[in-house]
Structure 1
């Protein structure tokens, strides 16, 4: 009496990268909410490079304000932003301008106020600078092997992406 045949058999079904990323983005959006997700995703585009380099949005708190004439609840959204201590005073000075940029990006009044919290902010740009300094040399043989492996690819963008990926992986392994 073995039930192996009646059990669900797992089979591999290839998925596109788009399908996989949709699931990841959906989970991320559910965790934070759509508004927070969009602000986190587009932060550098919304506030500009200087502000993005010295800050990161943390969360949005919604506080019930009142009921409108249609008996719908009106909320005030407060954005909490982690700011590096060196730039905190400048952020406080440009607080209204940042709120204006955020609301202008969305086209309506999304954020009522911003609360700043001084905290050391680690951005990706800082990490990439460190990686460039620790560059390792790749042997000509390794590079040649990678180029031979991708020589049959027809799509140039894919070929370049895989070449860069292979070179990066080999550099980290050596």
Structure 2
């Protein structure tokens, strides 16, 4: 056997496909840690850390680490700066200690000792789940009018006409996109 070293001591390269999140975090983590003092993992885990009551109105901004004077200095925990909308500030203040406990649980050691709240708008980009619709033609309108013509209540007839227009418009948009 050649003296090329034991397989267990050589670093192994991952084989096969890797999740895109792993590749992106390898690229983004150095930038985020340099600018904000934290990892992309904290940002992506924030909804679980903050919980349902806080995730909508606040987000972590940065970690402020105190300067180390020398290598002999003991470790000093950081301050977590959290951007928070006005309606959530009081709730965040009341739950600050629990939040710090969950953040430290995420890191696995007491990395954060203080919380600084910065009141400002928190923009959460929500994915639109609205199904696209397409305008319907005069033939479809005529068919809907005939189907609802015997309904005596004008409010019910109007509501059913709007419902029919929506259904036919969504079906037409789905057909155009190559769906069913």
Q: TM-score range by the shorter chain?
A: 0.5 to 0.7
Q: Which runs of 5+ in 1 are unaligned?
A: 1-15, 148-174
Length-normalised TM-score, structure 2: 0.57
Larger radius of gyration: 2
What residue number does 2:26 align with?
Answer: 26
Asked whether the 8 Å contact 1:77–1:110 carries over to 2, the reply is yes
Length-normalised TM-score, structure 1: 0.59
CA distance in 2, matches of 1:42, 1:61: 19
Query: How many residue pairs get matched?
Result: 125
Per-residue deviation at 1:37?
Answer: 2.1
Asked whether the 8 Å contact 1:85–1:119 carries over to 2, the reply is yes
Once the two structures are superposed, the pairs formed by residues 51-90 of structure 1 within 5 Å of their partners are 51-64=54-67, 71-90=72-91
- Residue 71 of structure 2 corresponds to residue 37 of structure 1: no
RMSD of aligned residue pairs (Cα, Å): 2.9
Deviations 1:76-127 (A, max 9, x none): 3111110011111111122111111211233310111110001111223xx3
Structure having the higher helix fraction is 1
Deviations 1:29-49 (A, max 9, x none): 011128432211100111212
Deviation beyond 3 Å, 4+ runs, structure 1: 16-23, 64-67, 132-135
Residues 49 and 24 (structure 1), Cα distance of their counterparts in 2 relative to 1, 3 Å cut:
same
